[in-house]
Structure 1
Amino acid sequence: MYLSAGRAADTAQGLAPPGRRTPVPATVIVLGLVSMVTDVSAEMVTAVLPLYLVAGLGMTPLAFGALDGLQQGATALLRIVGGRVADRTRRRKLVAGAGYAMSAACKAALLAVATPWSVAAVLAADRTGKGLRTAPRDALISLSCPPGEQGRAFGVHRAMDTAGALLGPLAAFGVLWVAVDGYGAVFTVSACVAVLGVVLLGLFVRETPAPASTRAPTPARARTPVPARAPTPGLRTLLRVPGLGALCLTAAALGLFTVGDAFLYLLLQRRLDLPAVYFPLLPVAAAAVFLSAALPAGRLADRRGRHRVFLGGHVLLLGACLLILAPFPAGPFLAVGVLSLLGLFYATTDGVLMAAAGPLLPRELRATGLAVLQTAQALSRFAASLLFGAAWTLWGPGTALAAAAGGLLLVLASTGAIASYRIRGARRFGGVSGPGAGGCGSTPPSPSRPGPRRGR
């Protein structure tokens, strides 16, 4: 995390002035459609999975925690592989498409497995596909828009993605309502929808144009020699990117105490004594809030600082945990409060984190750098799922949730104190803090155009 150099430095870095916005790039819109269709498929499975495994196949909370963590961990190293391959080959669309195709195949494979750990193996392969595609896809989004509008671009994409997350559980609910073999029917429809997402990607998504220096010469300049394509920088280059290490550390520390939404849905269902057929509707409510808040959260992050919004999102997650732990009677207000806070948590963290990292990274390492950040977060959430599942088994759900909430509060307090200390130190030595001061997505000052200084 480091400090903004003010509006002058933002302008030097090519950030759009407030009130003058360019249209959302077509690449962002099309990738949003692909993600929306794919998320319909994925959330159909996710909506029924906790009950299918715990109630249908008899999986214990500890085993479910291990499985939930495996889904997080399976994507970790593959994110770096996918990002690195995409950067080296400059074929980000192809790498992302391979990941989408792998996930579509896994949806069909769920029809052929019937034991908890065979399901776990298929889900791990599905998450592998997600790991391959996520960083190249986010790199395509980041490269298609200027640094000052990263939050808006990712907000638009995440809003469309969340529309799929909203429709997926509704589709699962409808299939369970009318089908005799409910789970098998859900998996069949999910596989068909996933194939549609792969087709949309192949037909309509275009690679981000290469920089002008690497394109072929125009006919008027046919005799001008074309510069050779520069080699992709090594991974060690990422170590020298200012702010990236602190951003990874912050995301990993918070992820270590982030309770997975599947666990929160199970806990809420127990508090409400909700019938199993209505369980898929819980993600629908959270997704509706996410959908409505994703774009405003992205714009707020662009204006007020991505670090502030990212930390604020985890405060909302802490609030959801405390609501579940609260001693008042369960009822509609509890459900509305928890699901609203959970949806706002994802709206203020998911795309905002990628928007914070994008402007920090060079073009040639955009996918790799985003993959490193995503891997740090995925590994910490993998550990969080294992620890929470073990704590639930040993001490019960209430104690496990209280321990997670306490750890999250400790990390938030520590991170806020460090950011406040750095802001005070910068002001003491003449630094300038703009709207994004202390933000992990703030823009560093330009070497050729330093930002304004305060008087001595």
Structure 2
Amino acid sequence: MSRRLAPGGVDGTSDVAGRGWSPWRVVVGFGVVSLAADMVYEGARSVYGPLLASLGASAVAVGLVTGAGEAAALLLRLVSGPLADRTRRYWSLTILGYALTALCVPLLAVTPLLGGAGMAVAAALIVAERLGKAIRSPAKSALLADAAARVGLGRGLGVHKALDQVGAFAGPLLVAGVVALAAGALWPGLAALAVPGAVTMLLLVVVRARVAAPAAADAPQGDAVPRPPARPAGRVSLPARFHWFAAAMALCTAGLVTFGLIGFHLVRAGVVATATVPLLYAAAMGAGALAALVTGLVYDRAGPWVLVVLPALIAAVPVLTFGGGPLLAAAGVLVWGAAVGVQDSTVKALVADLVPAARRATAYGVFAAVQGAGALAGGAAAGGLYEHSAASLVVAVAVSQAAAATALVGILAGIRTARRG
């Protein structure tokens, strides 16, 4: 049974499992919130490619919009992460970010009705939804990492990601079902995501009430977060090894083709029907959940060397998805989902291990910003390369992942040497 801490903790830290919740219950609570939220934005992301194509977008435009969205979700955490640590308003930022996502996604349903303005409005809403992710993610990750560290970072973040992926699986299925009933029209499926959006906000209120420390909500001394040590958090340097790891993961992010471009290709090339695209996305999310659980367990037992599988997964995606018929494409989508699952769980476990606890939100923000630069460059390049030829995209991704794997091996070897020392 998990040890129950008094408010303030045994080491002067605030107890993230406040009001009697154990660390595992906190992990599961955040997981359930993420489950509902993922139904919303992953349901929408499963049809971004076909939606933008129906609004007149080219492959380059799809790559730019989806890449810009991912860049916004990552780069802007460079601001929201330090803001969370400095103001300690972790819960305010978490709630604001979820609210923005719950609002923007259902509004995408009106874009097919806007004529020539539909493309611009859709692009703005996609980027705004990702902005919500940027606002909430470092703050939520800091809260979650504090609880997960008490049960094993790999396992805790893996279980959270698995719950998260249940929603990422269910959301595309909901969209696919509604789109099929609507004879292929996308807007009813997007409108239906307003329901899990409302559920997300209700669940978040419940978790906030249970996890909050007894002090006044959102006060600096009352937020359910790790308190900094005697040395102010803002003056604690992030280690150089963390920055090198972030750079290696940026190469991985740049090489991971967005699902928007994958979906665009599958529909334009006639590989699958439009209604099948969200079904494939749902299957990818299931693969991501399994990958997160497996690599999380291996991480806790054998260490971060499990991450060397990530560049290999990413390099395989374009080979499969752009290289053949429906079966190869489905395999490529599953590999894509597994890569996303590892990125969103086990990679974050190593970030938490590399930095001081009081700087985790800042570290997650910096890490995401570096990945965001990779996402923006990779999204734009992937669209252009795809328009030139699928083969050139395959080669470019393979080269980037060879470089990422080389850098990652060197970083992990350095970590092992430092720990032995």
TM range (shorter): 0.7 to 0.9
On the 8 A contact 2:249/2:404 being kept in 1, the answer is: no
1:386 aligned residue: 380
- Is 2:318 aligned against 1:321? yes
Letter in 1 for 2:318: C
**Relative to 1, partners in 2 of residues 1:154 and 1:175: Cα closer, same or farther, differing over 3 Å?**
same
2:162 aligned residue: 159
Deviation at 1:375, TM superposition (A): 1.2
Among candidates 415, 425, 437, match of residue 416 of structure 2: 437
Letter in 2 for 1:310: L
Larger proportion of helix: 2
- Is 2:173 aligned against 1:170? yes
Structure 2: 5+ residue stretches without partners: 1-21, 215-219
Deviation at 1:31, TM superposition (A): 0.6
- Is 2:314 aligned against 1:330? no
Deviation at 1:256, TM superposition (A): 2.5
> C-alpha separation between the residues in 2 aligned to 1:228 and 1:296?
32
> C-alpha separation between the residues in 2 aligned to 1:76 and 1:284?
23
- Once the two structures are superposed, residues 350-409 of structure 1 have per-residue CA deviations (whole angstroms, 9 ceiling, x without a partner) of 21111001123223221111111111112211110011112223x123322332223222
On the 8 A contact 1:312/1:348 being kept in 2, the answer is: no
On the 8 A contact 1:27/1:141 being kept in 2, the answer is: yes
Q: How does 1:217-366 map to 2 (within 5 A)?
A: 232-234=232-234, 237-239=236-238, 241-268=239-266, 273-306=271-304, 308-324=305-321, 330-332=325-327, 334-366=328-360
On the 8 A contact 1:272/1:330 being kept in 2, the answer is: no
On the 8 A contact 1:57/1:116 being kept in 2, the answer is: yes
> C-alpha separation between the residues in 2 aligned to 1:176 and 1:228?
49
Deviation at 1:302, TM superposition (A): 1.7
1:96 aligned residue: 94
On the 8 A contact 1:242/1:360 being kept in 2, the answer is: no
Letter in 1 for 2:341: A
Deviation at 1:411, TM superposition (A): 3.0
On the 8 A contact 1:66/1:386 being kept in 2, the answer is: yes
Report the secondary structure of 1:58's partner residue. Answer: coil
> C-alpha separation between the residues in 1 aligned to 2:411 and 2:105?
43
> C-alpha separation between the residues in 2 aligned to 1:238 and 1:368?
10
Structure 1: 5+ residue stretches without partners: 1-22, 217-226, 424-435, 439-443, 446-450
2:46 aligned residue: 47
> C-alpha separation between the residues in 2 aligned to 1:147 and 1:358?
12
> C-alpha separation between the residues in 2 aligned to 1:197 and 1:36?
8
Letter in 1 for 2:136: R
Report the secondary structure of 1:144's partner residue. Answer: helix
> C-alpha separation between the residues in 1 aligned to 2:231 and 2:211?
19
Letter in 2 for 1:349: Q
On the 8 A contact 2:265/2:322 being kept in 1, the answer is: no
On the 8 A contact 1:272/1:331 being kept in 2, the answer is: no
Larger CA deviation: 154-163 vs 275-284 = 275-284
Deviation at 1:187, TM superposition (A): 2.2
**Relative to 1, partners in 2 of residues 1:364 and 1:415: Cα closer, same or farther, differing over 3 Å?**
closer
**Relative to 1, partners in 2 of residues 1:30 and 1:284: Cα closer, same or farther, differing over 3 Å?**
same
Report the secondary structure of 1:134's partner residue. Answer: helix
Deviation at 1:207, TM superposition (A): 4.7
2:368 aligned residue: 374
Among candidates 405, 408, 418, match of residue 401 of structure 2: 408
Deviation at 1:107, TM superposition (A): 2.0
- Is 2:178 aligned against 1:179? no
On the 8 A contact 1:92/1:207 being kept in 2, the answer is: no
Report the secondary structure of 1:274's partner residue. Answer: coil
Deviation at 1:25, TM superposition (A): 1.7
Deviation at 1:148, TM superposition (A): 7.3
On the 8 A contact 2:52/2:119 being kept in 1, the answer is: yes
Deviation at 1:268, TM superposition (A): 4.7
> C-alpha separation between the residues in 2 aligned to 1:229 and 1:313?
34
* Sequence identity (%): 25
**Relative to 1, partners in 2 of residues 1:290 and 1:64: Cα closer, same or farther, differing over 3 Å?**
same
**Relative to 1, partners in 2 of residues 1:93 and 1:331: Cα closer, same or farther, differing over 3 Å?**
same
1:141 aligned residue: 144
- Higher Cα Rg, which structure: 1
Deviation at 1:84, TM superposition (A): 2.0
Between the two proteins, the alignment pairs up a number of residues equal to 385
On the 8 A contact 1:297/1:348 being kept in 2, the answer is: yes
The runs of 4+ residues in structure 1 deviating greater than 6 Å are none
Deviation at 1:248, TM superposition (A): 1.3
> C-alpha separation between the residues in 2 aligned to 1:81 and 1:215?
22
Larger relative contact order (Cα-Cα within 8 Å, sequence gap ≥ 6): 1
Report the secondary structure of 1:276's partner residue. Answer: coil
Report the secondary structure of 2:57's partner residue. Answer: coil
2:201 aligned residue: 198
